[in-house]
A and B are shown apart, each in its own frame.
Chain A
C-alpha cells in the first residue's frame, strides 16, 4: 500500500512539474536580461536579475489601456452572463410554458455549433450598427452563452419544487423566489460559472481581434498577439532577444492576475465544476 502511494505521488508529481514548468519558466525568465534569455534559456544568475524587460514593455506596448479595456468588458459582460443565464435557466427549469421546448432546443443546437461560424455575420452586423471598435461590440455578442444556461438549468432542475411552493405559500413572488431561494442555493455552481466566465472573457481573443483592432480599443489579449507578431517576423530587423524579453514580461503580466484570482477562488472553482458537469 505504501509503495502504491509513493508511485501515485511520483506520477502526479511528474504531471504537476510538466504543467507548471512553462509558466514558471516564463515568469522567471522575464526577470533575466534579454540577451541572457536567448543565450542561456535554462540558466539563472541571481546577480543579473532585472526589471528592464518589464519597464520596456510598458514603454513600447499599450499594456495599460489593454488592461483597462479588458476590465470594462469583463465587468459588464460578466455581470450580464451571471444574471441573465441563471434567470433564463430558472424559467426553463421550473416553469412549463408554450414555446419552452422550441426555445431551449434552439439554445442546445447552438451549443454544438462552432462559434467561429458566427464571426462573419456578427462582424457585418456590427458594421451595420456602427459598433466596430466599440465596447458594445465587445460586450453584447456572447454575453448570453449557451453553455452557461445549459449548466445552470441542470443545477436548478435538481432543486426540489417543494421549496419553491413553500416560498409561494409564505407570500414570495416569482422573482422573489429567484432572488431569495434559487440564487443562494446555486451559489457553488454560480461561483464555478463565475470563474469560468471571467476566464473566458479575459482570454477571449478571436472576436476582439476581429471587431476591436484599433489600438484604442484593443483588449489585453489583442495587445499581446500584436507583440507576438513582431517576434514572428513582422518587425523586420528587430532584435530577437529584446523582443523575446518584452514578450515574456508582457505574458507574465497578463497571466498573473488570472492565476492569482484562480488560486484565491480555486475551492469554488473546482467544486463548482464538480457540482455542475454531467454525471457519469
Chain B
C-alpha cells in the first residue's frame, strides 16, 4: 500500500514530463518543415544543379566542375564581382563613418528632437526599394533631372549620372547609402546605449577630447555591433539586384552589372547550371568577406 500511493500519482507526472519533452519538437516542427521544404531542399538542389548543364527542360547533363571552371575563366563573371567590389568600396566605409557620426551625435540624452530625427532618418529605409529606384531614375536624368538642374544653378555642367560608366556606379552607391543608412544608425544606437557612462567620465578626467573618446573608447567598445553592421551591408551590396535592374539595367556597358544582377542574367537566359554554380561562388565570396570582418573586429582583444 505504501508503494501504491506514489505509483498512483506517478502517471500524471510522467505524462507531464513526456509532454515537456515533446513540446519543443511540436514548437519547432512547423518552422522546420517549411524551412526544410523551401530553404534546405532548394539549397541542396542548387548544389547538384551546379554540376550539370541544364536549360530548364529535358534531362540535366552531368558536367562535373565545368560550370565552375567556365565562370572562373570568364571575364564577365570577374567583372561582375569587380563591379560589386567597387560598389562595396563606395558604399560601406562611407556609410559606416556617416552612420557612426550620426549615432554618436544622436546618442546625447540632452539633445532635443531626438525622436524626430530618428523617425525621419528611417523614412528612406521604409520606402519601397522599387519606388526609390524609380525616383532615382527621374531625379538623375541627364536632361530633365532635378539634380542636374540644381548643379546648373551653381554653374556646374550637366552630368550623365546613369549613362556614363564613370558615374553610374557612384549614382547607385548613393541610392544604396541613402536607402539604408538610417537603419544602420538605429543598429549602432543600440550598441551605444549599452555603454557605461562612467568610462567616459574617467576618460574626460584624463583629458580625452571628443575624437579621442570616439576612437579609443566608443569604436572598440561597440566593435561587435560595427562588425554586425558591416557584415549585413557587405551581404546586401554583393546581393544588390533591384537597384541595377530598375535604374540602369546593368549598363552602361555592363558597368553596373553587379554580382547579383549577373546571377539573374543566367536565370533569365535559362542557363540554370551556370547560374547555380555562380550562386555558390558568390556564397564563397560573401562568406569569406563576412568571416574576414568578424576576425578583424575580434582579434583586437
Mark A residues whose CB is within 8 Å of B.
5, 8-9, 11-12, 15-16, 18-20, 22-23, 25-26, 37-39, 41-42, 80, 84-85, 87-88, 90-92, 94-95, 97, 100, 103, 106-107, 110, 112-125, 140-144, 146, 149, 173-175, 178, 199, 202-203, 205-206, 210, 220-221, 224-225, 227-228, 231-232, 240-241, 244, 247-248, 251, 254-255, 258-259, 262-263, 266, 269-270, 273-274, 277-280
- Out of B28, B34, B49, B130, name the residue touching A224 (CB < 8 Å): B130
Mark B residues whose CB is within 8 Å of A.
19-21, 23-28, 30-32, 34-35, 37-43, 45-46, 49, 56, 98, 101-102, 105-106, 108, 110-113, 116-139, 144-146, 149-150, 153, 178, 181-183, 186-187, 189-195, 221-225, 228, 235, 238-239, 241-242, 245-246, 249, 260, 263-264, 267, 272, 275-276, 279-280, 282-283, 286-287, 290
- Out of B126, B144, B225, name the residue touching A280 (CB < 8 Å): B225
- Out of A25, A203, A266, A274, name the residue touching B122 (CB < 8 Å): A266
A37–B225 Cα distance when bound, in Å, is 43
A255–B124 Cα distance when bound, in Å, is 10
B241 touches A206 (CB 8 A): yes
B127 touches A116 (CB 8 A): no
With contacts A18-B178, A173-B19, A251-B135 taken as known, whether A84 is within 8 angstroms of B31 at the C-beta atoms is yes
B61 CB to closest chain A CB (Å) equals 16
B100 CB to closest chain A CB (Å) equals 12
With contacts A255-B131, A270-B118, A273-B187 taken as known, whether A87 is within 8 angstroms of B27 at the C-beta atoms is yes
CB-based closest 9 A-B pairs: A91-B27, A121-B42, A88-B31, A95-B24, A280-B222, A174-B23, A280-B191, A41-B146, A121-B45
Measured between beta carbons, the chain A residues less than 8 angstroms from B35 are 106-107, 110, 144, 146
Closest to A26 in B: B135
- Out of A12, A16, A38, A227, name the residue touching B144 (CB < 8 Å): A38
